Amino acid sequence: MRSAVRPYSIYSDTVAKMESFIPAEFDLNHKGSSEEAQKRWRDAVGKLVKNRRRRFRYAADLEKRSEAKEQMRRLRENIRVSFVAYTAALRFIEAGQAMKPPSAVGSGASRSNEQDIASELGTGLKEDARLAGFRIDPDKLATIVSSYDIKTLTKLKGIEGLAARLNVSLDEGVKSEDVATRKNVFGPNLYTEKPSKSFWMFLWEAFQDVTLMILIVCAVVSIGVGLATEGWPKGMYDGVGIILSIFLVVMVTAVSDYKQSLQFKELDKEKKKIFIQVTRDGTRQKISIYDLVVGDIVHLSIGDQVPADGIFVKGYNLLIDQSSLTGESVPVNIYEKRPFLLAGTKVQDGTAKMLVTTVGMRTEWGKLMETLSEGGDDETPLQVKLNGVATIIGKIGLAFAALTFLVLTARFLMDKWLNHKLSKWNSSDAVTLLNYFATAVTIIVVAVPEGLPLAVTLSFAFAMKKLMSENALVRHLAACETMGSATCICTDKTGTLTTNHMVVSKTWICGKIKEVDASSSVGALDSSISGAVLKILLQAIFNNTGSEVVKNKDGEISILGTPTEAAILELGLHLGGDLDEQRRMCKLLKLEPFNSEKKKMSALVILPDGKLRAFCKGASEIILKMCDKSINADGEPVPLMEEQGRNVLDVINGFANEALRTLCLAFKEIDDGFHGNSIPDDGYTLIAVVGIKDPIRPGVKEAVQTCLEASITVRMVTGDNINTAKAIARECGILKNDDLAVEGPAFRHKTPHEMGLEIPRIKVMARASPSDKHVLVKTCRSLLREVAAVTGDGTNDAPAMHEADIGLAMGIAGTEVAKESADVIVLDDNFSTIVTVAKWGRAVYINIQKFVQFQLTVNIVALMISFISACASGSTPLTAVQLLWVNLIMDTLGALALATEPPHEGLMKRPPVGRSESLITMAMWRNIIGQSIYQLTLLLVLNFSGKQILGLNGPDATVVLNTLIFNIFVFCQVFNEINSRDIDKINIFRGIFGNWIFSGIIVSTVVFQVIIVEFLGTFASTVPLKWQLWVLSALLGALSMPIAVLLKCIPVTGKRNGARSDGYERLPSGPGLA
């Protein structure tokens, strides 16, 4: 056995070097390829592209992208200059107001100036806008915000004056019946997009194939010469046959490309579905950003993208990242004296309400978006690599085509010279040479595999559409490809592994643990709590929150906000509290929203008696450290002794061990007034500890097990208590006995070497900040060479998602900033969906390998049969029309059949594809060469000895034999297409009837082959065959299937640990052969 394997091993090592011929220019990084690298691979493709418009349809247009960058630079510079001028004007106004005597304010000159400004802003306003109550021109309003015109805004009496001119109440918001009028006057919040291509444009692009154009010229010349020599209609059959074949190829290609474009268009619509909270008709509600109108009151919070230009109404600690517009990385503080907000900027911190003033293409962001849409998306590494494969094969095919034409021409001239007719030429000689040339050009059509790079796009489009139906929105094509190679997934806990439907199930108040039953009566829980304690608890719940309790038209209560906040507000409502009543009693001075770095949220309020009180809630251990007192049963603060502190910590750990998420609520009396810019961080009084239940999602445990079987490591990264994290991780099957659970603060202080040693065992990281997640992902990729996928939902998760090979944002809990940074949006926030994405990623890669195997086999056989026949006999058995049909089978139809195979469970029982693993594996080369040898041997034997073997004689023997060779060749491809459904496994029929696209294409190919041979022989140079020859064709084609079984029994080198690519055990060899 050893001696039998060794020669094959030597051969396979030699064949493996073929992929090394692909130039280095075609090897791109999975993320962040430079523009120079993209230019290099385009240059490496050279001129050997049959149809540049089609081949590079989905490639980024680098010229337009360069123009867009320049335009973006100019826009950013204009915005930056306006911002600098605005800052200077603001300082000038503040200085002037400080120097101006009080009597000067509101003078007659000032009133006159205001009237002039008002009159100027109202000019140009249409009559219907005036009738609707608007008193400001849309373009002039847009200029106020985009140019940061603080002077004009001040003269309009600020935000109240502007709201009056827009006929809107800052408290009630826009009325629903006014929305249509506002869209008509001020425009919709939509951006200009490139118009979609029509089907006729795709038809035109498919026709731009240079080789097809040459063939049409040949066909026209053939018709002209044929009519002159053979008359009507016989003389035009060959030429018309070529034209009809070209029309069929162009039509099928255009239909396939058009459907593909419709799929991408549908996915683009899904990508743009962004929702924002607004106040309309006096109630807070969620609407699409594209339904926003001028006058809307928008609620902004951390992670939101500002959806339109507007003016700050009120808010707390609003910090805006303007880098997307200005290029400046330093965030800007927005408040009453600096109120301008621009569309496309991002909320880095704080909360606010904004009055929308400008929408759509009147905003600077709208102009920028129009520019950015011109450049297109970057190609994926697999697309680029297949362009390299296509280039190499194309050069080989071009050489064979040229050699075939030269050999045919040389033999033709030799025959004329031997027959002493070299000086005698007629029209039939011209037709013969023209046919030789057409055959050579058709060989180029077959040999240059334009379909290879486009098959990737087709497979991506199919996978993305299917993933969309399974709650995963793929934003970047490369993510489909890369996810199949993922070796680790760093996942959040809350909402991803758990349901994110949170309820407070336990509390610790005044030294006692109490169960909370949401179904019990209101008084059941608070009966044991004194009125004073309940009053402080309700104040802490309702004043220190960024969420809202709203009622719909039917009076049903719902909570708008994060699940954690919703759980605590539900507790407050359960205790008989009322959010509106608390807010009327206490005036909110300052709010510091929760973020994942501080792990706490704070508020400062003025109580009804005029005193100041700060409230704080957040991670239990952090809040507990800030407390030096706790409240007793009478609601009085008492010192928090060390022993009592340990008892509270035991309570926290007890809750955490029950898989409860723990939070502490605390308050602090501020007696000496509030002088600083931040709320105090110490001296608090502990009110309560709450334990929030968040159950594990159904199916998560099975999904984690699937990952482990697929050699994908799952790591939980959470901000929760380590005991809570460990309890959840054990329940999910993530944390085993020998695995490590660490805390973020301890991890971040380790050296890179220590991290590299520990990370393989780390399965849980608790109390982790976004920077800890970033360091973990970076170390996994750089030191351990892992392909890392990471989930994120917050603004601060963006760096980790950028660093990862695949960033996965949560569709429900995720902020717009997180979604914008992601490659894939998990619409249902479910870990099982992430596993589905990984499965489809593997399917895409395997499907492309199947198509490459199938197409290379057809290429090799078509080239070799044409060349050898030309050299040996001076003619080729396959005509131009027949080769065009073969090209259609292996290119567009082959890609549709093989690149759209759905994944099977076996894909998740094999290791992921390595970063440096060869696209064309040893197993693929084994199948390609084995099938090529069989088909070439069969066709060459028939070509040279077919008449004798089959007993064909008579005047039509040659054309019958050539028809049979064509028929057998097509049937070989049909059965080899079925063989290609699985590169390694013998059972190739699994799921074949579940894939209607594949089954339909196989049946259609056979039916059309019958039509060509039996009814279109005049154009295709075929004759009808006897039923015995049809049976022979099918049997010889089907013989490739047992040959495929034998080939798959031949062991190949290069597999890790001897495992097969689909997770099945290797077949026994030798006497025990299965």
Show which residues are catalytic.
492
3-state secondary structure of 749: coil
Both tokens of 508, joined, read: 């610790």
* Backbone dihedral region for residue 823 (phi beyond 0: left; psi -120 to 50: alpha; all else: beta): alpha
Max distance between CA atoms of the chain, in angstroms, equals 125
Q: Give dist(CA 344, CA 324) in Å, integer.
A: 7
3-state secondary structure of 756: helix
**What are the residues whose beta carbons fall under 8 Å from the beta carbon of 591, sequence distance 6 or more?**
316, 317, 350, 351, 544, 546, 601, 602, 603, 604
Q: Which residues pair with 314 in a beta bridge?
A: 353
List the Cα angle 147/153/157 in 5-degree steps.
175
Both tokens of 447, joined, read: 């040999």
First to last CA, the chain: 16
Of 351, 301, 341, whose CA–CA distance to 813 is shortest?
301
Contact of 685 with 636, CB cutoff 8 Å: no
Of 279, 287, 295, whose CA–CA distance to 178 is shortest?
295
Return the number of other C-beta atoms located less than 10 Å from residue 989's C-beta.
Answer: 11
Identity of the amino acid at 99: M
Contact of 863 with 443, CB cutoff 8 Å: yes
β-strand pairing of 788-792 with 488-491: parallel
Q: Which residues pair with 130 in a beta bridge?
A: none
Cα dihedral across residues 807, 809, 815, 819: positive or negative: positive
Both tokens of 323, joined, read: 């880098």
Q: Which residues pair with 986 in a beta bridge?
A: none
Q: Which residues pair with 592 in a beta bridge?
A: 602
Q: Give dist(CA 600, CA 91) in Å, integer.
A: 34
Query: Across 632-787, where does the E strand assignment appear?
Result: 637-639, 660-670, 684-693, 713-717, 740-743, 762-766
Q: Give dist(CA 496, CA 791) in Å, integer.
A: 9
**What are the residues whose beta carbons fall under 8 Å from the beta carbon of 607, sequence distance 6 or more?**
585, 586, 613
Both tokens of 158, joined, read: 């600020």
Half-sphere exposure of 667 (CA within 13 A, CB side): 27
3-state secondary structure of 722: helix
Of 406, 432, 434, whose CA–CA distance to 421 is shortest?
432
Both tokens of 721, joined, read: 């208590």
Q: Give dist(CA 1033, CA 1024) in Å, integer.
A: 13
Phi, psi of 587 (to 5 degrees): -95, 125
Q: Which residues pair with 604 in a beta bridge?
A: 590, 614
Contact of 226 with 432, CB cutoff 8 Å: no
Instruction: Give the residue carrying structure tokens 């031949």.
Output: 1050
Containing 716, the helix (H) or strand (E) segment is strand 713-717
Return the number of other C-beta atoms located less than 10 Å from residue 186's C-beta.
Answer: 26
Q: Give dist(CA 305, CA 267) in Å, integer.
A: 21
Q: Give dist(CA 700, CA 1068) in Å, integer.
A: 36
Q: Give dist(CA 89, CA 81) in Å, integer.
A: 12
Q: 160: burial class by Cβ within 10 Å (0-12, 13-18, 19+)?
A: exposed
Of 89, 213, 243, 209, whose CA–CA distance to 1019 is shortest?
243
